[in-house]
Amino acid sequence: METQIFKSQFYSQLGSCLEYPATAQAWEMLSMTASEIQSSSEQASNFLREFISKMKRMDLGMKQEYFVKTFDLMPECSLYLSVHLFGEESFRRAELMAGLKATYERNGAWASTELPDHLAVVLKQSVALSPEEWADLVSMAIIPALPIMIDKLEKNKNPYALVLKAVQVYLVEMEKPHV
């Protein structure tokens, strides 16, 4: 079983896959992540490789436009976990975001322009959480939200569903004792 720090590095890399692809290096990192994850989750690695294959015909500008279309402007899917769990205007959503932000700040790891429940942020902040906090977040927020998010993307045959499937499979495989 991998250590929490080692797993957190992978979670951080997976989180980077769900950020705006600002440079060509982001795609190199994605390919590297797929290779590194292969040893611990062949299925997650295969999902990432399939995503890379589907997106390889696009230049960086097209990839950026596709990301924005998918997640930002009139999004097919939001990367904010609480939107899928509680809706956009909900006290429970606000409560989750406030709790996450406080946890990140308590652990000295809050420096993002995104809201604290953005999936990329959550994955990247895994290193700042205790194993118990992480297990709770995975089981109560991430795992319940991912199927909803994946379904929305699959309905439109959007390749980003593959990245979310990679996250889902990796989390389930790595967090078996906790999920």
Q: Roughly how many angstroms between the first and final C-alpha of the chain, as a whole number?
A: 15
| Beta carbons within 10 angstroms of residue 106's beta carbon | 12
Does residue 142 lie within any of the structural domains? yes
| Residue 4's pLDDT band (cuts 50, 70, 90) | low
Helix/strand/coil for 118: strand
Q: Rounded CA gap, 60 and 24, in Å?
A: 6
Q: Is the pLDDT of residue 28 over 90?
A: no
Instruction: Read off the pLDDT of each residue in 147-162 and give the average, rounded to a whole number.
Output: 95
| Residues whose CB is less than 8 angstroms from the CB of residue 69 and which lie 6 or more positions away in sequence, other chains included | 75, 76
Higher pLDDT, 18 or 75: 18
Does residue 52 lie within any of the structural domains? yes
Task: Give the domain extent around 168.
Answer: 4-174
Does residue 50 lie within any of the structural domains? yes
Q: Rounded CA gap, 19 and 17, in Å?
A: 6
Of 23-32, 66-75, 108-117, the least confident: 108-117
pLDDT in tens, 72-96: 887 779 999 999 999 888 899 999 9
Does residue 125 lie within any of the structural domains? yes
Q: Rounded CA gap, 72 and 79, in Å?
A: 9
| Residues whose CB is less than 8 angstroms from the CB of residue 48 and which lie 6 or more positions away in sequence, other chains included | 17, 30, 33, 34, 37, 162, 163, 166
Does residue 19 lie within any of the structural domains? yes
Can you give the CATH number for the domain in which 160 is found? 1.10.3480
Does residue 179 lie within any of the structural domains? no
**For the chain, how many structural domains are there in total?**
1
pLDDT in tens, 45-72: 999 999 999 999 999 999 999 999 999 8
Please tell me the predicted confidence (pLDDT) of residue 179: 42
Instruction: Read off the pLDDT of each residue in 8-33 and give the average, rounded to a whole number.
Output: 86
Does residue 103 lie within any of the structural domains? yes
Instruction: Read off the pLDDT of each residue in 108-117 and give the average, rounded to a whole number.
Output: 80
Does residue 100 lie within any of the structural domains? yes
Residue closest to 82 by CA, chosen among 96, 100, 103: 96
Mean pLDDT, the chain, rounded, equals 88
